[in-house]
Structures are given as structure tokens and as C-alpha cells.
Chains A and B, each alone.
Chain A
Amino acid sequence: MSQIEEVSLDKFKHLVSERALTGETMLLNMGPQHPSTHGVLRLLLELDGEIIVNCIPDIGYLHTGIEKNMEAKTYQKAEVMTDRLDYMNTMGNNLAYVMAVEKLVDLDVPVRAQALRVILTELQRIASHLVWLGTSGLDLAAMSMFLYCFREREQILDIFELVSGQRMMTTYFRPGGVWRDVPVEFEKAVRDFIKIFPKRVDEYETLLTKNPLFLDRMLSIGRLSKEVALSYGVTGPMLRASGVDWDLRKARPYCGYEQYDFNVPTRTEGDTYARYLVRVQELRESIKIVEQALNKLPLGPVRSSNRKFVTPPRSEIGVSMESLIHHFKLWTEGFPAPKASIYSAVESPRGELGLMLEGDGGPKPYRVHLRTPSFDNLGVLSQIVKGHLVADLVAILSSTDIVLGDIDR
């Protein structure tokens, strides 16, 4: 195991101001073990008293080698890696991956499976935003937010456990559909959640939105202009809080999002408070989508009947020789994908989650690149914290809603 090297100024000479070289400003390490960096992020801060002059993020403390590891697995087995990528948004990552595979091999998905995908991804979006709301409340010393948000999140995780058997790492979406149909209790569980959730959002808003202490910490902090945001590749709620109306669910509808009526909340201020408002509004929009999708949920199969890519159901294997062969081939060898490259993107709670998938004619992906939104959203941090206090850095960092698994991959 290598040793921790001491921070030497030589390495960061081109990144800090000249005053740091003379010792006029101070260099301070924040992280990798710090309660408010949301994981293992290291920020090297150049401070003039309490004021941040420069901020140099150092990432990679959670580098997992997911892209390399996916190249060594077949298309079906590589999906489990995407769960662990952005662990707040497991259903969304699965969706991004299976959509990329479906696009690469040109596979159709039944309508019921698409509606189920929409319901579960939107529930996941709510769960992810709840974790964000809870932890960013915690960062600003609003302890009760954490307890409230996790109470509702548990309810969503119970639904996930009902459909997939796992609370977090679901791997429920599969290329060509979903793993299996939802149990009969599913509808009631989701309806119960739809019934209580809007009231709970009101509850959060009474606690925070007009709270003077909260406003003092959030208003006009960490302003991000539209031009800077676009140049730094910022996407998702952060971009929408800066006044750009860009949501892939509206702009390039997938999984039948065009059937549902929902708004894309935007703000023009671009500060931390605007990001908070956008995300809270997204909670309300997501629950609207869930309700519409559940009302319209069609009956029918949940897996594609294309036996070249999707394994046959268990009942068929006993009676049909052909099905047995397909089952055997698919689970031992996998399915081949053409020698080509595609890019497919979905809107994750953090922004554009893109997947560049390249096949080489065999059953394993030749190259997988995950375009993760947190990576670019963190890249802009050094620009927006300049001139703020160290205490404000915590508020700004929590408003960017980063997940370190998403950044380091």
C-alpha cells in the first residue's frame, strides 16, 4: 500500500494565487474524511482568513474501475455495476444502461414495462431528492429534516423491496423489459405513498422555505450564471436553477414520458436557494408523473418476446426445446451486439446521465463510458465558491447534490 504524500506547494503552484507562495494566504485540507463533503471528497482550500481564494477539488478516493470491470462482463451481468455507480439513483442508472443496450441491439420494450420503469424511476428521483434534502438540512444544522426525509424514503425503499427483493441495489430493469411483473400489493403501496407525500412536501416547506435562518444561509450564495453553467457542462436541477429550461424527459422523451403532463421547474437566480426551490418543486412534479403513470398502467407482458435477447419464462422451458436452448445460450454465452457505438442519455436526479456503449460483435461490451452528471457539476464548484466564507462552502456543496460514487466511478 502506498503512503499518503505530504501536500507540497510545488504541485499546486499553477492553481493557487501568488499570495500563497509567500505564505500570505493559508492552504487548508477539507476532507477526504469530513462530515459535510458527502463522501470522500478532498477540497484543498486557499484561504485569506475566512474567505476562500481558491478551491481545488481532489477526487478519486472512490475510484472503482466500473468502466473497466464492465468490459469484462456480458451485457446482462454488467448491469449490476451500474447500480453501484450512483447509489442514490439505482433505478435511474439501470434505466440508462438497459436503454443503451436496447438501442445498441435494437430491442423493443412492452408498454407495461415502460410504464413500470417510469413509475419506479420517478420514485427513485423522489428518494434521491429526499436524501439530498435531509443531508443538506443536516449540513445547515436542521436536524429534523433528516429524520423526516428518511421516514418517507423508507416507504419508497419498501416499494422497491416489494418489486425487486432489494432495498437499494435493485437491478430490476433488464434489457427488453423488467425482471418480472410487480406483485398485486404494488398498486396499493404506491397509492398510499401518493396520498401522503404531497402533504409531507408541504411539511418540509413550512420548515425550510421561509425560515429566516435558512434564507440567511442560502440566499444569493454560490451564484452560477447560465453561460458558465453551460460551458462547464452542468446539467440537471443546477442548470435549471440558472435559467436554462433543459430536461431530457421533455426534450427527448423516452419510455413514454411524452404521455404524461408535468412541468419542468426553472428559476433564474442561479443561487443555492434557487437550486433548493427547483428540487423541491421536482418532488411535486415527480409524484404527479407517478400518479398519472399508475392510473394509465396498461396490462400485458413485461418482457420482450424476442428470444434472441430475452430469456424465456420458466414455464416455457419445461415444454419447449427451443426455449431451453435460448435459456442456456443466453445465460452461458450472452447475446451478441453489433460492432458499433451509441450514446444514450436519461435525466437522472442530478442531470444528464449518458452512456456511451460500444459493441464488438461479441457478448461483452467493448467499451462503456459513463457520462455522469456529478462529475461536471462538481467541476464548476471551484468557480462558484470564490470569495465566499468557508461556512458557505458547505451550503454550496450540499446544493450541488453530488454523489461521490457518481463522480469517481
Chain B
Amino acid sequence: MIQSSEKKKRTGFQECPVLGVGLGLRRPLVDETLTSTDLLDWVEVTPENYMGKGGRSQEILAQAKEVYPLVSHGVSLSIGSVDPWDSEYLRQFREFLDVAQSPWFSDHLCFSGVDGVYFHDLIPLPRTKETVAHCAARIRELRDRLEKPVLVENVSYYLRYPEDELSEADFVAEVIEQADCGLLLDVNNVYVNTQNHGGDPYAYFSRIPLERVVQIHTAGHHKYPEGLVDTHGSEVCEDVWTLLAWVLERSRPCGVMIERDTYIPAFEELKPEIQRLRQLWEATQGTTLRESEKPLADQQEALV
């Protein structure tokens, strides 16, 4: 386990432990992921893959929990929706959080359904003051109902609305400040958005409260005639590694991880990326070795 002295001292997130380097748990790579404790400190799980399901899903969840701290990252909360909360979702989600013992949970700053119908995709919100107030109120309500720290993730978007009033960075910053929640900063999404819509990623980072970054995602994207699409289906590109290093040098997140959802390669092919991420993490944040892997002298010192 992570030592308590390494917990963050950030207001509102004291209970969030520093986890280190993680990976999104995906079924094709479950076995290799669960035996790679030399590479990984934690795994991120998608609650919708386990909620209300039995059999192999629950077995995977139980096995993963034995090996790693689990962190919940959802895709269907539909934080920005004008629909009321899906009560069945919240019921099952709460049960899931109890089982997974996730120290915090996250979902996307978007909407994914309307009028009781799910899109099964992350649709961008109009960036208006009305949306900021709406999302902030919903996030605060979520935190109160689920009694855990909430993070929201900046999404990649491919569509702009004529009613947009705020830049993306200002919109994200306003929502998390008004909601008093954490940010799951997806560095690849910032890259994709600034490439597709123009803008400077460093200017983006300078406008968001980096002290609220609790978790960081990074991933690969694909280039299509329409622009870059955040597919999570390739290696992290060099530009994104550079941005990630810049962010890590200026923030104190609890965890950083790689997402890979499509064109999932053999685990061996992912290893160099995870190793690189660990080197970057350790160079900027220090080590987060598990208790059992710490040098004996350190353990004795901790006992004194």
C-alpha cells in the first residue's frame, strides 16, 4: 500500500491517496495487467462494465481488487444532461463504488443522453454560463449523494455550437471552481482539441487550476481527413509526451495513466509506454513504490 505520508495535502482532496502510475483495465489484457505489479501501481475501471453484471465481470473486479487499488472512471453519468439523474444508474453505481472502494470517481464533462435515451457517446456541451451553473450544481449533488470526491474530465470535441460563450479552458475552469471538484486532466484531449480548433495547449494549461488536477489521462489518437479523433487506439505521440511532462512538472496529481481502448496490442507492446510514463512520474513526483517493494531501510524508518 501507499504510505499515508504521501497523501495529498490539497484542500478537499486530503482523502485522495497518491497512487502513481496506472492503466485502464481492459478485458483482453486482464491477465497481463494483473501480473504486472512491477510496472503498475493501480488500475482504472469502467463501472458500466461491472454494474449489475455477474459472472466473469465480477471475477475480474475481485481479482483486480486483490492486486491493485481501483479507480472508477465512468462514461454514462451524463453530468451535463438536462435530464434528471438515472436513479437505476446511481443505485448500481453506489453498489459498485462500495465494492471497488475507489478513492474518488470521475466521469466526463459532457452529456450522453437526452429525454431518457442514451447516445453511448460523449457529446460536448455548449460552453455558456448557463451550462457552467447547471454542471456545477449537478457535480455538487453527485458528491453529496455518493459521498466521495468527484473529478470531471475535459473531453475531446469535434463540434462547436453558435451559442458558445467561453473558451474550452475557461469553461472547464469555471465548472470545477464552481463545483469545487477535482479535474481529471486528459492531456491528449487538450492536444486533439487545440489541433482541431486552433489554440495553444500551454495557454490552455495556464488558464485551468492545475492545483485541482487529481488524475491525468494520456492516450493516442488517429488522424482523419476531418481532423484528429481521440480513439485511444495508438501510441501516445511525442507532442503529447512533451505536454504531459510540462503538466507533471507543474502539478501534484495523485495518479497518471494510459488509456487504450481500440486496436489493443499485446501487453508487451504497451510496456515501453508504461515504463516511460513511470520514469516521467518519478522524475517529477518522486517514487510511489508499494510498501512491500520499498527498501527495507525505508520501511524501518517508517516504523520508527
* A and B assemble together: no
B binding-site residues for A, Cβ under 8 Å? none
